[in-house]
Amino acid sequence: MRVLIIGAGALGIAIGASLKKSGLDVDFLAREETGQAIRDFGIRREGLFEEIIIPQGGVYAYSAYEELPDAAFDFIIISVKTTANAEVSGMLNQYRNCMKNDCKIIFMQNGFYYEQPFLKYFDKNIIYHSRVITGFKRSERNVSTITVHQAPVLIGTLYGNPLEPVRCIAEAIREAGLPAEITEDVEKALWAKLIYNTTLNPLGAILGLSYGELLESEYARSIMDVLIEECFEIMNRAGYSTYWQTPEEYRKVLYEELIPDTAGHRSSTLQDIERKQKTEIDTLTGSLLVLASEYETDAPVQTMVYWMVKALEEKF
């Protein structure tokens, strides 16, 4: 099996190291500086779980789509920021001859609706999603550090596709020490992560606080309470569901289990703001607001935090 990972950030490198450790052939499509570091030094996964070192030559990194070989890849993993999806989908379509006839695309991204640009070019029957709530940090261009871990990587489909074709990816990740499995309920898992991310990420970015610091603030918790309520209302009106029936059930788990387990984590949205980069707010809170508009659901606090993050982005 040969896998192309588009996006050699912290997540992409960790997944790539895991797959290679388990015997799959792995290539990256990365920016030139990162690609050169991978070609020169290989990649490394460190931090939680076992360390994996893939030496120079163990994986390869392409820096342009036109370099990709013909009919080479069984799987393509999309791990770039969702802000790049429109460009990536168009370029992958242009150079789709790199894909084998039965190639599958697996998204490892934040948010909801992020696959929409790809559906302009690729059939739903090759599209798969994943839920990743493990924290990664890229300490060097070719090194990924696993900083926090909450639950296994879940791989599934929103479109009723058979799961057997992607089982080997979940098994390879798991065999390399990072818990992973396939699931028939990836939709519920994605909504669980979306509630988590839309409650914590934008507010943490606006206030400059870690997850634990948000929990310690009486006023931040009051805002989070409302964000959760609005998210559940939108989800229910749109006909989706997750593992908890009510906002109250979810808040108990979030405040007593999920945040304490990741108290020191600073959200990717906050890190983007600090680096003066565009965030993924449009596929996080923005995707909620699209549904809210479609199903005529009021979400004033979600709207306000969305506007505030967009206002911060205007400076970049």
Please name which of 220, 310, 226, 232 lies closest in space to residue 272, comparing C-alpha atoms.
Answer: 310
Eight-class DSSP state of 98: G
Question: Which pLDDT belongs to residue 121?
Answer: 98
Residue entry with tokens 């640009």: 117
Question: Which pLDDT belongs to residue 150?
Answer: 85
**Ranges of the chain whose pLDDT falls below 70:** none
Please name which of 179, 174, 130 lies closest in space to residue 155, comparing C-alpha atoms.
Answer: 130
* Domains of the chain, residue spans: 2-183, 188-313
Is the distance from CB of 267 to CB of 204 less than 8 angstroms?
yes
Class of the CATH domain delimited by 188-313 = mainly alpha
Torsion of CA 26, 177, 266, 289, to 10 degrees: 70
State both tokens at 244: 């908890």
Question: Which pLDDT belongs to residue 316?
Answer: 85
Question: Which pLDDT belongs to residue 84?
Answer: 96
Quote the pTM value: 0.94
In the CATH hierarchy, which fold is given to the domain comprising 2-183? Rossmann fold (3.40.50)
Element (H, E) at 302: helix 300-313
Residue-level length of the chain: 316
